[in-house]
Amino acid sequence: MTDPATGTPAPPPPSPWERERPARAQGAPARLPLSRDRVVDAAFTVLDRAGLDGLSMRQVAAELGVSASALYAYVSSKDDLLELMYARLFDGFAIPRPDPDRWQEQVRDYARSARQRLLAHRDMARLSMAHAPFTAELLPHVEAVLAVFRAAGLPDHVAARAGDIISTYIDGFVLEESMWRDRRAGHGSGDPAPALPDPGEMAGEMQTYFASLPAADFPHLRALSGLLVTDSSEERFDVGLEIILRGLASYLPDRMGSQDS
């Protein structure tokens, strides 16, 4: 039978055993093709929702609406996917040309930016601690960090350790932040942890407790009760970073000479 309006063959009537399918919406956008970047994007979505322990290839595939096997055209394994997520941490993370007169300021900017990037995704500090930035894509980043320390005049044996020390500090600090943030958000496994008060309220309670301790037994806790605990993570981070930077600066040749004299 021919459709008189178009002159083309009309479709046959549906058979009794044919399943009814929903009509495709007119003008509906076609599904975006898979790519490595889309797989990594989906993995971050799963990470933020389920945490590192809940991240799986199956969950990433479900986020994309594909089968898990489809992912292996873009990533070879879950470990490969984690490597790509770690590398994403450094996207756009440029370190300026070394300036010996501003090396401490450059390191501060680097550390603060790294902390914010880790905080941008749940469990990112855990992922960072499990990977070393020595892949071909990330070696230029390591080279740039070492250049800052060597240009400052730090002895080679100190410059070789400085980047690792600061990176370990950043990872550890953010890991602690993330664990407390997860507890406040109710994340975690096993028995539910007790509800946590607001950070400011919690800091106030601890300061009051330290101040109430017997002075004969805890003179230092009492004396420092107002300083030991703060509700500002930025302040704690900056103080810790400053301690590291001043320690590194003590190894500069002119500082060492003045200490020996």
In a domain, 13, yes or no: no
pLDDT band at 220 (very low <50, low <70, confident <90, very high): very high
Task: Look at 16-20, 139-143, 182-186, 239-243 and tell me which has the smallest mean pLDDT.
Answer: 16-20
Q: Kindly state whether residues 130 and 243 are assigned to the same domain.
A: yes
**Structural domains counted in the chain:** 2
Residue 73 pLDDT > 70, yes or no?
A: yes
Query: Cβ distance 232 to 219 under 8 Å?
Result: no
The pLDDT of residue 202 is: 76
In a domain, 95, yes or no: no
In a domain, 230, yes or no: yes
Q: Kindly state whether residues 221 and 134 are assigned to the same domain.
A: yes
Q: Give start and end residues of each alpha helix (H) in the chain.
A: 36-50, 57-64, 68-71, 78-88, 103-119, 124-129, 139-152, 156-185, 199-211, 219-223, 225-228, 233-249, 253-260
> 153: closest CA among 98, 107, 84?
98
The pLDDT of residue 64 is: 96
pLDDT, tens digit (0-9, with 9 covering 90-100), for 196-216: 566 677 778 888 888 899 999
Task: Look at 114-118, 153-157, 189-193 and tell me which has the smallest mean pLDDT.
Answer: 189-193
In a domain, 162, yes or no: yes
Listed residues 88, 123, 156: the one ending a domain: 88
Report the predicted TM-score, pTM, of the whole model to 2 decimal places: 0.77
Q: Kindly state whether residues 144 and 226 are assigned to the same domain.
A: yes
pLDDT band at 45 (very low <50, low <70, confident <90, very high): very high
Domain with 110 in it: 100-254
Residues with Cβ within 8 Å of 75's Cβ and at least 6 positions away in sequence, in order, are 36, 39, 81, 84
| Percent of the chain whose pLDDT exceeds 70 | 79
Q: Kindly state whether residues 150 and 73 are assigned to the same domain.
A: no
Residue 53 pLDDT > 70, yes or no?
A: yes
DSSP 12: P
Q: Kindly state whether residues 173 and 54 are assigned to the same domain.
A: no
Residue 119 or residue 20, greater confidence: 119
In a domain, 9, yes or no: no
pLDDT band at 81 (very low <50, low <70, confident <90, very high): very high
In a domain, 8, yes or no: no
Q: Kindly state whether residues 76 and 169 are assigned to the same domain.
A: no
Q: Kindly state whether residues 118 and 239 are assigned to the same domain.
A: yes
Q: Kindly state whether residues 63 and 107 are assigned to the same domain.
A: no
In a domain, 58, yes or no: yes
Q: Kindly state whether residues 150 and 48 are assigned to the same domain.
A: no
The pLDDT of residue 7 is: 65
Q: Kindly state whether residues 149 and 45 are assigned to the same domain.
A: no
Q: Kindly state whether residues 67 and 159 are assigned to the same domain.
A: no
Q: Which residue has the tokens 């040309």?
A: 97
Listed residues 53, 88, 123: the one ending a domain: 88
- What CATH number did the domain enclosing 171 receive? 1.10.357.10
Instruction: Tell me the range of 39-48, 185-194, 207-216 where mean pLDDT is highest.
Output: 39-48
What gap in Å lies between CA 43 and CA 54, rounded to an integer? 11
Residue 83 pLDDT > 60, yes or no?
A: yes
pLDDT, tens digit (0-9, with 9 covering 90-100), for 237-261: 999 999 999 999 999 987 554 444 3
Burial class from Cβ neighbours inside 10 Å (0-12, 13-18, 19+) for residue 215 reads exposed
Q: Kindly state whether residues 81 and 141 are assigned to the same domain.
A: no
What gap in Å lies between CA 225 and CA 100, rounded to an integer? 38
The pLDDT of residue 69 is: 94
Residue 23 or residue 138, greater confidence: 138
Residue 159 pLDDT > 50, yes or no?
A: yes
In a domain, 236, yes or no: yes
- What CATH number did the domain enclosing 61 receive? 1.10.10.60
